[in-house]
Structure 1
């Protein structure tokens, strides 16, 4: 734990900063839609020892899919269909505290640890794809031992500190409160936030990676994707122009480029 952690002991339950941290770490439920239910019926539920809800579609080399914050595994529908059509097996999991997986709160480090365990259960992966929060978790998981031949990081953050600070400002924390807010989140995560910086980890990686980001991303700026691609040795980058943060997951050019890269 970082030295600054002791300074957070002055905060008590009921303190506005503690309440802000709890909100930051608590995802909103994403109810199943009829489309989600239909996609689940087309796949096969997996019983993972790690406890995460997971489903599998298709046969062939396995590609693991890690969704973003406030999402669920069925939001990968377009990618699942594209992977299956290409002769690959798509396995999508609900992140901790998301979808049908257990838990109330989570964070990117907990998600990454879960992905390492999932990868260990599934065996060597032909590929792994992460979106947004899931892209950050995938990058950390690869650094922590997730075995995958190739990776695609879509709309992912370059700096977790920046994500936490941006959330705090968006939720009206005073600028003077931001450093303490970051350290309180860090205490809950149980790992140094700086040690989880994606660009720092990227420089130590050798996995073939495709970084995908849209210039009009309204949640995570395209500069984050460019920074990851610049730091990751041998990385390829696909920068799109009209899909934003979410529609990028159904864009035909993204689907074709990512599937071709993984194959």
Structure 2
């Protein structure tokens, strides 16, 4: 006999309650939106472009102990970047995502350095030790561009999430002095649409369409 079809019922999922801080933000934007959509937009844009600087973890400190710190100058200010195995034959540039920093690449940097590569990882603007309090796609890409121009030929770039969107979407121009070709590019968890990211943010804060 053929198997009997059954209707699947979704399991009851218990979602955590909304954090008090988020409730306060939602209330703030309800009030601002009632007064002026322009004020509400400016305030929301400030929240959207302001990353938190999270405390340094122990494993990050250990990762940076084997790196040499350098600085590059971008329009957003001074940009910190780190180098592992400076004598490596080919350079791999690592670009972190939102609210991360160069030290988050510690494990990968160690493995690639042991494989003979020179590793460079950047602190995006308003991230890590780099200058600034706010970051956008354009300013972040500008910081990556400044580092890419400073370190010489880049054999490969690995970029994650927001960093992937900045690197490939703005985009960053690599190896301009030697023809502008980048042999290898790896994008991890790159957003498919910046518009959708903004829409999720607006939904989270209950922002009205205006």
Instruction: Give 1 or 2: higher helix fraction.
Output: 1
- The structural deviation recorded for 1:169 is 0.9
Report SS of the residue matched to 1:75: helix
User: What is the CA deviation profile of residues 161-197 of structure 1, one whole-angstrom value per residue up to 9, with x for unaligned ones?
Assistant: 11111111122213x23xxxxxxxxxxxxxxxxxxxx
Q: Which residue of 2 aligns with 1:54?
A: 81
Please give the alpha-carbon distance, in whole angstroms, between the structure 2 residues aligned to 1:118 and 1:11: 38
Matches within 5 A, 1:200-219: none
Equivalent residues in 2 for 1:2-17, closer than 5 Å: 15-17=39-41
Number of residue pairs aligned between Structure 1 and Structure 2: 164
Query: Structure 1 stretches of 5 or more lacking a match?
Result: 1-9, 178-263
Structure 2: runs of 5 or more not aligned: 1-35, 176-181
Confirm whether residue 67 of structure 1 aligns to residue 96 of structure 2: yes
In 1: Cα distance, 2:172 partner to 2:157 partner = 14
Cα distance in 1, alignment partners of residues 37 and 206 from structure 2: 19
Give the TM-score of the pair, scaled to structure 1.
0.59
Q: 1:35-60, CA deviations, whole angstroms, 9 ceiling, x for partnerless residues?
A: 21121111111132342111101122
| Per-residue CA distance 1:99-150 (angstroms, 9 max, x = gap) | 1100011111211122122111111201111100011111035x45223321
Structure-1 separation of matches of 2:186 and 2:59? 25
Asked if residue 159 in structure 1 is aligned to residue 159 in structure 2, the reply is: no
Which has more radius of gyration? 2
* Pair 1:106-2:135 in alignment: yes
Number of the residue aligned with 2:14: none
After superposing on structure 2, the runs of 4+ consecutive aligned residues of structure 1 that deviate more than 3 Å are: none
The 2-side partners of 1:45 and 1:134 are apart by 20
* Native 8 Å contact 2:64 2:106 kept in 1: no
**Is 2:92–2:156's contact at 8 Å kept on the other side of the alignment?**
yes
Quote the Cα distance in structure 2 between the aligned partners of 1:171 and 1:74.
31
Between the aligned partners of 1:144 and 1:85, the Cα distance in structure 2 is 27
Deviation at 1:17, TM superposition (A): 2.2
For the pair 1:37 / 2:61, whether they are aligned, the reply is: yes
Pairwise CA RMSD: 1.7
Asked if structure 2 preserves the Cα contact closer than 8 Å seen for 1:31 and 1:99, the reply is no
Structure 1 contact 62–127 (Cα < 8 Å) conserved: yes
Q: What secondary structure sits across from 1:52 in the alignment?
A: strand
Say whether 1:146 aligns with 2:180. no
